[in-house]
Structure 1
Amino acid sequence: MGRKLKELLIEKEYFSAENELHRIELVQKLLAERFPFENLDVLLKVEDPVTPDFIEEKMLQNGRGGLCYELNALQHLLLSELGFNVYLASATVASGDGWATDRTHVMNLFERDGKLYVIDSGFGSNLPLQPVELDGPSVKSSAGEFRLRTCGTEKGSIVFQSRSDKGWQTRYAFFPEQVAWRDLNRIKREIHTSAQSAFNQELLIAQIFPGEIISLNEERLQIKTSKGENQRHHFLDKEEMLKHIESCFPEPVYKAAAQYVHMKKDGRKNA
């Protein structure tokens, strides 16, 4: 664990919390506030294998965020170091009336007192920010209301759902089976190279801060506040986009975004 992370956990009174699930919740909130969901390594074609050393260097040392196989890998390393017996599992994300690329979402599972929980810090801005119990009560965060249910589907026996105006919507499905760390590299390859990948087309950044959720793509910035306000700002050009990234997200993310914008410009010049 990095010294800075330990200091932040102390600030959140993690080490004085007695309940295990509450301690995990504090870790999830810390990760959400510190590490944005972002796909810049995909766009920059960074192909380094996903190893514990890679995760620690990219995120803890260099201050970047990442996608699910990086954010939840960091969560896995941190919770394991803190003494929690968590294990990695993979899921298939629901997409429209069908499914996205098979088993390309990764999260952590945790068993306690005969109950199974999903612990997910890598599902964009749709984060429950606390463990979600299988067939237990729904949980709420600033991102919405979530639950975990036993439900037979072609992609898994358990579904993670969020509530919308249309009722409960399945967000992903999975079988509660442990996957090896090397499976993260399979997921990374799929996301980097698949024509069906949602993350190799354009820039996406999202982060949950206390009081607001900020999400950005190459067309607009969106800010949802805890008071129910929803602000959207459409960019005139990529330079304006970079200015908003610089003001809203960690400096290392801004620098990677600037590299991406310049790479695209150079690509057009050489085309």
Structure 2
Amino acid sequence: MSNPIQGLDVNQYLERIGYTGPIVNSAYMLARLQEQHVHTVPYENLDILHQIPLSLDIPDLYDKIVTRHRGGYCFELNALFGWLLQELGFKVTHYFGRFWRDETDTPAKRRHHILQVDIEDQRYIADVGVGGAGPRHPLELVDGLEQTQGNETYRLVQTEAYGWMLEEWKKEAWDPVFSFTEEPNLPRDFITTSFWCEYAPDSPFNKTARVSIRTAEGRNTVDDDEFRIYKAGGVHTFKPGNAQEYAEALYTYFGIPIHK
């Protein structure tokens, strides 16, 4: 484990994500941790919209996500999840990624935080920072290996221009999600890009509310003021009538106590 930060409790973090299994440095535990995380901690950009400055310092992230039961976006969620994994004894490497899924310009900007986790002689890509739009389990870093998780199939392929590319099989084609190169980054390396995401006029993060979380039946999302509840039988869409109903819906469908 790394040097502990005073006041931060790994067990409280595990309780926050509902993990009650054994503490063993294994691929099984890593998969359980990621699955629990994406089902309990939402992706959300609400602080950015409310012009509350973000901090990527681990104590501040712990306070927001663990103590106050909020969510965050990739630079927050994967930073704190990476800290948890290191505290549990995993070897973690931080990478910058280009996020392609919602990008209209090519090449996609380097505005995503990705984790590589090494377990014995295997490497895995872990990511809890894209809400319901990414894998629920870590993926083996093996070129071209198709990996199915429920009704979703992913693969990581090496490309000449962008390094590794994560793709999802959708509508009879491979759809790019994010790409990255194997250049390790330090926590401070993400600060400038996160600042751009918060304040840049052309940032997609400071325009409308984006909230997402996986559920046992599908996923819940918010796009601006529209809530979408996806289940096996279809999708239920609604718009709260006022601020109080909006706050109540955030708590009901995402566990976000908006007053915190």
Confirm or deny a common fold (TM above 0.5): yes
1:185-204 alignment, distance < 5 Å = 185-204=191-210
Tell me, what secondary structure is at the counterpart of 1:191? Answer: helix
| Cα-to-partner distance string for 1:155-207 (whole Å, 9 max, x where unaligned) | x2110111110411111111011111102212210101223321100111111
- Going by fraction, where is helix more abundant, 1 or 2? 1
How do 1:1-271 and structure 2 match up within 5 A? 1-7=9-15, 12-15=20-23, 20-94=26-100, 95-96=103-104, 98-100=106-108, 102-134=109-141, 135=143, 137-141=145-149, 144-153=152-161, 156-225=162-231, 227=232, 229-236=234-241, 238-252=243-257, 254-255=258-259
Structure 2: how far apart are the matches of 1:140 and 1:224?
Answer: 20
Q: Does the CA-based 8 Å contact 1:126-1:144 persist in structure 2? A: no
Any gaps of 5 or more consecutive residues in structure 1?
257-271
Moved more, 47-56 or 2-11: 2-11
**Quick one: distance in 1 between partners of 2:213 and 2:197?**
20
Between stretches 63-72 and 40-49, larger displacement belongs to: 40-49
CA spacing shift, 1:9–1:164, aligned 2, 3 Å: closer
Q: Which runs of 5+ in 2 are unaligned?
A: 1-8
Q: Which amino acid aligns with 1:5?
A: Y
Q: 1:103-125: CA deviations, max 9, x gaps? A: 11001012345443210100131
Cα gap change, 1:21 to 1:136, in 2 (>3 Å): farther
- 2:114/2:126 contact within 8 Å kept: yes
Q: Residue 190 of structure 2 aligns to a residue in which SS?
A: helix
Higher alpha-carbon deviation: 66-75 or 52-61: 52-61
**C-alpha distance in 2, partners of 1:215/1:47?**
23
Amino acid at match of 2:237: R
- With over 3 angstroms needed to count, the CA separation of the structure-2 counterparts of 1:48 and 1:3, relative to structure 1, is same
Deviates more, 1:90-99 or 1:38-47: 90-99
One-letter amino acid of the structure 2 residue matched with residue 122 of structure 1: G
Distance in 2, matches of 1:79 and 1:73, equals 10
Q: Is the 8 A contact 1:93 1:99 kept in 2?
A: no
TM-score after normalising by structure 1: 0.82
- Segment of structure 1 superposing worse, 80-89 or 106-115: 106-115
Structure 1 position 20, deviation (Å): 1.2
Q: Which SS does the other structure have where 2:174 is aligned? A: strand
The 2-side partners of 1:203 and 1:178 are apart by: 31
- 1:65 corresponds to which letter in structure 2? G
User: What do the CA deviations read for 1:122-165 (whole angstroms, capped 9, x no partner)?
Assistant: 01312312111222533334683222111122xx2110111110
- Residue by residue over 1:15-61, the C-alpha shift from the partner in whole angstroms, topping out at 9 and shown as x without a partner, is 3x6x7111101110121122110001211222243111111111111
The one-letter code sitting in structure 2 at the alignment partner of 1:126 is: A
Alignment check: 8 A CA contact 1:219 1:235 kept: yes
Asked whether the 8 Å contact 1:203–1:218 carries over to 2, the reply is yes
Gap change, CA 1:197 and 1:99, over 3 Å in 2: farther
1:237: how far off? 5.0
